[in-house]
Structure 1
Amino acid sequence: MNLLKLKNRKEVFAWSLYDFANQPFTTIIITFIYSAFFAKVIAENEQVGTTMWANAIAVTAIIVAVLSPILGAIADNGGYRKFFLILFTWICAIFSILLYFPESGDVFFALILFVIANISFEMGTVFCNSYLPDLSGKGNSGSISGFAWGLGFFGGLISLFLALFLFPELDAGSIRKINVLVGIWLLVFSLPTFLFLKDRKKDKFKKEHLLNSFSAIRTTFKSISEYKAISQFLIARLFFNDGLVTIFALGGIYAVGTLNFSFNEVMQLGIVLNIAAGLGSFLFGYIEDIIGVKKIINITLLVLIIATLIAIYAPETNFPKELFWLSGVLIGLMVGPNQSCSRSLMAQLTPKEKLNEFFGFFALTGKATSFIGPLLFGIVTSIYNQQMALWIVILLFVLGFLLFNRIQFNLLNSQDEI
């Protein structure tokens, strides 16, 4: 795909900028910096902090699983897609900024702010993803999705560099200020998405929109068997996405708690991972359009399993940090293509008239059980240790891989290659 040759290149680039805008929330707050800061500084100790952070991720997952199909159906019925996208983006940005205020011991204050911000982040992503079928065709959905993911990781990388430049000490006060940077970044770089993405004019909200949304959800549940390949894919993704959620939520905590990474080392790891993730997203986005989405997802899952095994056994070696770096780079290379290809495949399979509703269910299956991985990680950590808890991730990836390879992709939408 040559972005400059697309007729709708302005809209595609504006849509892609949303990934650029919201990636620092994932990179800085969820994965690398604030999660580790919460466990190490705000919570009583790292073991308790790990469990509480995992529980917060679980609460987010349950709430998003309930809200996403309902609001997605309302957006389909009333044309409220952009309204919800803007609303949740602003809530996420504001509550990210408010994370500046919790200090050591303010555990529940910090968790409440984080859960609200994280729910809003996830819901914004639901409505952003639903635009992909409008912007792409069968031949370029992979490259457009990959371009957006790559641009997102590039945004995460720049934000990490900027955070290091503005707050080189990375002490408690500096890390709290970085949350303000994340919120402002989201507010500024999401503006092109709001300004240039086209959407149909929204209707005045009526009670019928809510009733119709529930009716649409019931209908989708009843007719989901007609979309056998979609339902099978969503079930498989439910498992391997849960593994990714667990890595995102607790990777930084594992580095600090098990491998004694400093905040500076975690920040450096984040920079390298974002470079790897950006390269992986751009590269595999183009490869997907050539060899098909199934092969790409299989490659990513196999490499993710190997990388997690390296992370588990790294502390037992004479080079624990070096091996964890290798594991992190491999995960970085694969995580973007895995998520991008999942989004691309969903866009290829989704009927046009069901865009928001089906992408609501895409989020639903991504979140319906995604509390299980972090929750089990927290439980195993409290009983044993973080190293033992990582086997939960292996189990989730393996189950997802096995279920994904049971799907008959050659029957999908009469496409020659998936």
Structure 2
Amino acid sequence: MQTASKKVINGWAMYDWANSVYNLVITTTFFPIYFLAVTGSSSGDHKVHFLGRQFVNSSLYDYVLAVAYLFVAILYPILTSIADTRGNKKNFMRFFCYMGALGSATLFFFTSDTLGLGVAAFMLAAMGYVGSLVFYNAYLPEIAAPEDRDRISARGFSYGYVGSVIMQLVGFLLIVLMTDKGMATRITFLLVGIWWFSFAQITFSRLPRSAKTGKIRGRVLRDGFSEIKKVYLQVKQMPVLKRYLRGFFFYSMGVQTVMLAATLFGSKLLGLPDDRLIISVVMIQLVAVAGAWYMSRLSARYGNIKVLMGVVVFWILICIAAYLTALVAEEGGNGEYLFYGLAVAVGLVMGGIQSLSRSTYAKLMPDTKDTASFFSYYDFTEKLAIVIGIFAFGFIEEQTGSMKNSVLSLILFFAIGFFWLYSALVKQRKA
């Protein structure tokens, strides 16, 4: 196949520009800080009552994300089966995009008196974000030749980081200039929804409509899970892909949890001021742009799986350093500059491992027209990993009383992921 025109490629990458503002501004920076502030108590015990139960506020945040991701993971097989058979990936991508944008904008109304509304809007935004990504990712093998997929995948992530940093700076300026910091944050949530909705129109106007791949039989529920089973049976017969996905499943537990919980770690455990946390996250994004491009070059030289193995080892070192940073903070030391060092380290590998993971899967999957079903399987694997990872992170904190113990669990996830990547590399060499 031939790579699509530059207009189509840039249009596809613009969706990263559109939706990454949610991932950075809401889940990574402003919303975790705002959520802890709104749900915090004057006594400083970090407890909040919700649905008749008392939660540690940061754990409730983790649980809400886990439930949102679980809902979408369950829906994936059904939605992508419909998208493949009817050739309407774009329509489903548009539906989830609008859902996410609406959820983000609705967070404007989230205050200490409207916890239920805030939780519902946050779940809606998260479901829209992850739901649209499966259809976005499924376009990659349709518009890019195999030899171009690493480069084009990296372009998407780079667009996303640049766009989200711009929105991040807008939010930061609002907080600096406005007296009411809470209102400034809520206006930022509203702007994220508007940004996401508006820039996504460029993508929807340029992406082609996918061709239908099967007969419409009307048995949506059964056909959806039959598609996942079909992909699973194909993957079982492909030794390299099978082992790669097992590795991806485990290291994704660690990667995604670090990204989702990093701000909670800096705010709650280290007590960093909000403005410094925001600056740290902007620094992560800027470093990540260079990291994504550099990792695509390394993969061209050394091979995707080898580079991924090296990156996973680097993630293990980051987790060890984070645990030691928490120990320093608990003993009364200043962990601020150690956190900044961790932020740079995370930025170097954050975007690269996501971009390379996506393009590696696109390379290893068989030549097929059922791209949405195959990427549904990929995204189902990733979202299930996030559910387990973020739930374990919150649960361990609740049970042990310290977030630093949750960090240790991530090391185990990365170690198991490394083992399966090594196994995939051995099989690839034999093949």
TM-score, L = length of structure 2: 0.89
2:51 corresponds in structure 1 to none
User: Residues 413, 96 of structure 1: CA spacing in aligned structure 2 closer, same or farther, 3 A cutoff?
Assistant: farther
2:168 corresponds in structure 1 to 160
How many corresponding residue pairs?
410
User: Residues 166, 36 of structure 1: CA spacing in aligned structure 2 closer, same or farther, 3 A cutoff?
Assistant: closer
SS state of the match for residue 103, structure 1?
coil
Q: Is 1:386 equivalent to 2:397 in the alignment?
A: no
Q: Match of 1:400, as an amino acid?
A: G
User: Residues 138, 89 of structure 1: CA spacing in aligned structure 2 closer, same or farther, 3 A cutoff?
Assistant: same
Which of these residues, 41, 63, 71, is aligned with residue 71 of structure 2? 63
Deviation at 1:334, TM superposition (A): 0.1
1:35 corresponds in structure 2 to 32
Which of these residues, 393, 415, 423, is aligned with residue 398 of structure 1? 415
2:272 corresponds in structure 1 to 261
1:364 corresponds in structure 2 to 380
Which of these residues, 184, 190, 195, is aligned with residue 185 of structure 1? 195
1:324 corresponds in structure 2 to 339
Contact 2:288 2:350 (C-alpha < 8 Å) held by counterparts: yes
Q: Match of 1:58, as an amino acid?
A: A
Q: Is 1:109 equivalent to 2:124 in the alignment?
A: no
Q: Match of 1:33, as an amino acid?
A: F
Contact 2:305 2:425 (C-alpha < 8 Å) held by counterparts: no
- RMSD of the alignment, in Å? 2.3
Distance, in Å, in 2 between the alignment partners of 1:29 and 1:83 is 25
Deviation at 1:407, TM superposition (A): 0.8
Distance, in Å, in 1 between the alignment partners of 2:10 and 2:414 is 32
Contact 1:92 1:117 (C-alpha < 8 Å) held by counterparts: yes
1:196 corresponds in structure 2 to 206
Distance, in Å, in 2 between the alignment partners of 1:15 and 1:46 is 42
Q: Is 1:151 equivalent to 2:159 in the alignment?
A: yes
Q: Is 1:307 equivalent to 2:318 in the alignment?
A: yes
TM-score, L = length of structure 1: 0.92
Which of these residues, 231, 235, 247, is aligned with residue 258 of structure 2? 247
Deviation at 1:210, TM superposition (A): 5.4
Distance, in Å, in 2 between the alignment partners of 1:386 and 1:315 is 8
Q: Which of structure 1's runs of 4+ aligned residues deviate more than 4 A?
A: 201-206, 208-211
1:237 corresponds in structure 2 to 248
Distance, in Å, in 2 between the alignment partners of 1:11 and 1:264 is 38
Contact 1:229 1:412 (C-alpha < 8 Å) held by counterparts: no
Contact 1:160 1:271 (C-alpha < 8 Å) held by counterparts: yes
Which of these residues, 351, 364, 370, is aligned with residue 349 of structure 1? 364
Distance, in Å, in 2 between the alignment partners of 1:380 and 1:83 is 39
2:349 corresponds in structure 1 to 334
Distance, in Å, in 2 between the alignment partners of 1:200 and 1:61 is 26
Which of these residues, 3, 11, 16, is aligned with residue 13 of structure 2? 16
Contact 2:253 2:389 (C-alpha < 8 Å) held by counterparts: yes
Unaligned regions of 5+ residues in structure 1, if any?
none
Identical positions, percent: 24
Distance, in Å, in 2 between the alignment partners of 1:230 and 1:72 is 20
How far does the alpha carbon of each residue in 1:310-351 deviate from its partner, in whole angstroms, 9 at most, with x for none?
Answer: 121114444411011111111111011101011001111223
Distance, in Å, in 1 between the alignment partners of 2:84 and 2:210 is 10
Q: Which moved more, 1:348-357 or 1:139-148?
A: 348-357
Q: Match of 2:7, as an amino acid?
A: K
How far does the alpha carbon of each residue in 1:275-319 deviate from its partner, in whole angstroms, 9 at most, with x for none?
Answer: 011111122223322322112212221211112221211144444
Q: Match of 1:309, as an amino acid?
A: I
SS state of the match for residue 284, structure 1?
helix
